[in-house]
Amino acid sequence: MQGNDDEFKKITEDLYKKNLDLFNANRQFSLLQELYQIIVSTLTFGDIANKFINTIIGDLDFYAGAVFFKIRDKEILSLYGVSTQKPNVLTESLGKSAQKDIPITEINNIVIKAFKEQKVQTGNSLKDVLLPFISSVDVDILSNATSVKSMVVFPISFGTQPLGAFVVFLRQVVTDLSEFEYAILGRCATVFGVAIDRLMIYQSLQDANQKLIDLDKQKDEFLSMAAHELRAPMTAIKGYISMIVEGDTGEIPEKARGYLADAGSVTDRLIRLVNNMLNVSRIEEGRLVYQVEQVNLSTVAQSVFNQFRPEAERKQLEYKLEIPQALRDKVEVDPDRVQEVVGNLVSNAIKYTEKGFVKIILSQASDQAVRFEVADSGPGISAEEQSKLFGKFYRAESSVGKTTGTGLGLYISKLLVEKFSGKIGLTSEVGKGSIFWVELPLVVAGQKPQTSA
Ligand SMILES: Nc1ncnc2c1ncn2[C@@H]1O[C@H](COP(=O)(O)OP(=O)(O)O)[C@@H](O)[C@H]1O
Ligand SMILES: [Mg+2]
């Protein structure tokens, strides 16, 4: 019978042990799971430290815990988190402590030692951990008031980079810590390392991002200022040129007239460019004032068409404007802005087309909309680039270096067209020219003009 009893006892012990292993594995799994959950939802060092140490101390039922990190280039470890779920004299005085740093030179402190040597350290006097950042007298008082018997300090690192350490305060002596507890604290230290590393990357990305935002703003301000300063003198030049051309200064030789006309259209181009630059920030910030009224789109098209004739002729392009009879084309827009849009499309077509034609064609898009198209026999644009064309500062690969431009024209045109509830787009194929089009809603009969928006 004795034999059977022994065997039975052995089986029960075995089972019990297996059961305990399973139980511990389960505990470990769920603790690590909790920690990973914290990682993905936490974005500051203080938060990570507090949540981690509370979870660890709570789950494993230790007396208390504290977390120290070395962040940035200072030669100190700073207290970033203290367990608070089960408050006691120790956690309270740690939480209240004004001084939170331990200099790396304090080699008697086991937090520093664990950090520097990257090895687990143990101690049995609170002084091993709390000196010098809590005074010797206060540590003595604390020691009497708590039931802490020992401490274990686990280093936190990522790869070969030491990042900090965390302390577990125990009610028992260190040797009473079970193998399981020891192992799981080691795992927690590893997860800690991953968390901190992730946060450091996140923070440096944020810093870099903030710098970019600042730079972007400076660039916008500079652009706006430069454009503003350029506009007045250019308008003056244009004024003088047209006065001379119109004969205000007397008869001028035919040749000079030709040069002056060229100078005039170049100045127009400059003014357009500067206006685009100025308008970008105004539109983006909602500062642009619109003078909305009812106009016939064909009037605007005719005026733009005339304005660009000299440039088209200079490039010896076939240049045409087609307006069908009985076109309904009354739209409610800011005519100056729509003139800018049509101007941008026509000037692009002329600029990018070396030979062949540029045609402006108006048509009835539907019962409710009028459409104008600018068709050219230029280089065309690949499908891939078409989608980016209306983005800020975008210029097609084939244009960069060959022609000058800001890449703002189409971006602004799109903003303006959408402001007037219209649509803008293009069809194009490399080598086969492009058609840029805009559709604007027609004024419904009987509709009263609105005041400017
Ligand atoms: N008619 C066109 N034919 C070919 N490419 C064009 C045409 N219109 C525009 N593009 C391309 O689209 C880009 C963006 O145009 P835009 O915003 O007006 O800027 P910019 O003319 O100052 O470069 C141009 O750089 C050019 O590469
Ligand atoms: Mg352009």
The percent of residues in the chain predicted with pLDDT above 90, rounded, is: 63
Q: What is the pLDDT of residue 132?
A: 80
Q: Is the pLDDT of residue 256 over 70?
A: yes
Q: How far is the CA of 406 from the centre of ligand 2 (A)?
A: 7
Distance of alpha carbon 102 from alpha carbon 220, whole angstroms:
45
Could you give the angle at the alpha carbon of 229 between the alpha carbons of 300 and 301, nearest 5°?
5
Q: Where are the beta strands (DSSP E) in 88-173?
A: 101-103, 121-123, 150-158, 161-170
Q: Is the pLDDT of residue 448 over 80?
A: no
Distance of alpha carbon 124 from alpha carbon 145, whole angstroms:
15
pLDDT classification of 2: cutoffs 50, 70, 90:
low
Q: How far is the CA of 219 from the centre of ligand 2 (A)?
A: 20
Q: What dihedral angle (degrees, nearest 10) is formed by the CA atoms of 395, 398, 402, 405?
A: -10
Distance of alpha carbon 411 from alpha carbon 391, whole angstroms:
5
Which positions ≥6 away from 193 have C-beta within 8 Å? Answer: 156, 157, 158, 163
Stated as kind and residue range, the H or E segment containing 80 is strand 76-82
pLDDT classification of 281: cutoffs 50, 70, 90:
confident
Q: What is the pLDDT of residue 289?
A: 87
Distance of alpha carbon 430 from alpha carbon 385, whole angstroms:
10
Q: Which residue has its alpha carbon closest to ligand 1 atom 11?
A: 396
Does the Cβ of 279 fall within 6 Å of ligand 1? no
Nearest to 412, CA basis, from 429, 389, 396, 433: 389
pLDDT classification of 191: cutoffs 50, 70, 90:
very high
Distance of alpha carbon 48 from alpha carbon 52, whole angstroms:
6
Q: Which residue has its alpha carbon closest to ligand 1 atom 22?
A: 405
Q: What is the pLDDT of residue 225?
A: 86
pLDDT digits (tens, 9 = 90+) for 292-304: 999 999 999 999 9
Least confident of 1-5, 114-118, 314-318, 409-413: 1-5
Q: Is the pLDDT of residue 432 over 60?
A: yes
Q: How far is the CA of 348 from the centre of ligand 1 (A)?
A: 6
Q: How far is the CA of 345 from the centre of ligand 2 (A)?
A: 7
Distance of alpha carbon 193 from alpha carbon 157, whole angstroms:
5
Q: How far is the CA of 405 from the centre of ligand 1 (A)?
A: 8
Q: What is the pLDDT of residue 153?
A: 97
DSSP 173-213: -GGGS-HHHHHHHHHHHHHHHHHHHHHHHHHHHHHHHHHHH
| Residue 411 buriedness (CB in 10 A; 0-12 / 13-18 / 19+) | buried
Q: What is the pLDDT of residue 227?
A: 84
Q: Is the pLDDT of residue 352 over 90?
A: yes
Least confident of 10-14, 165-169, 253-257, 322-326: 10-14
pLDDT classification of 453: cutoffs 50, 70, 90:
very low
Q: Which residue has its alpha carbon closest to ligand 1 atom 13?
A: 395
pLDDT digits (tens, 9 = 90+) for 77-119: 999 999 998 899 999 999 888 888 999 999 999 999 999 999 9
Best residue among 359, 395, 426 to mutate for probing ligand 1, ranked by most atoms within 8 Å of CB: 395
Q: What is the pLDDT of residue 244?
A: 92
Q: By the 8 A CB rule, do 35 and 52 touch?
A: yes
Mean pLDDT for the chain? 90
Indicate the SS3 state at residue 385: helix
Does the Cβ of 377 fall within 6 Å of ligand 1? no
Does the Cβ of 348 fall within 6 Å of ligand 1? yes
pLDDT digits (tens, 9 = 90+) for 198-208: 998 998 999 99
pLDDT digits (tens, 9 = 90+) for 294-339: 999 999 999 999 989 988 999 999 999 999 999 999 999 999 999 9
Q: Please give the structure tokens belonging to residue 45.
A: 């060092």
Q: How far is the CA of 417 from the centre of ligand 2 (A)?
A: 15
Q: Please give the structure tokens belonging to residue 291.
A: 């003078």
Q: What is the pLDDT of residue 451?
A: 52
Q: Is the pLDDT of residue 452 over 60?
A: no
Closest ligand relative to 346 C-alpha:
1
Does the Cβ of 378 fall within 6 Å of ligand 1? yes
Closest ligand relative to 393 C-alpha:
1
Instruction: Give the chain's count of helices (H) and strands (E).
Output: 12, 13
Does the Cβ of 410 fall within 6 Å of ligand 1? yes
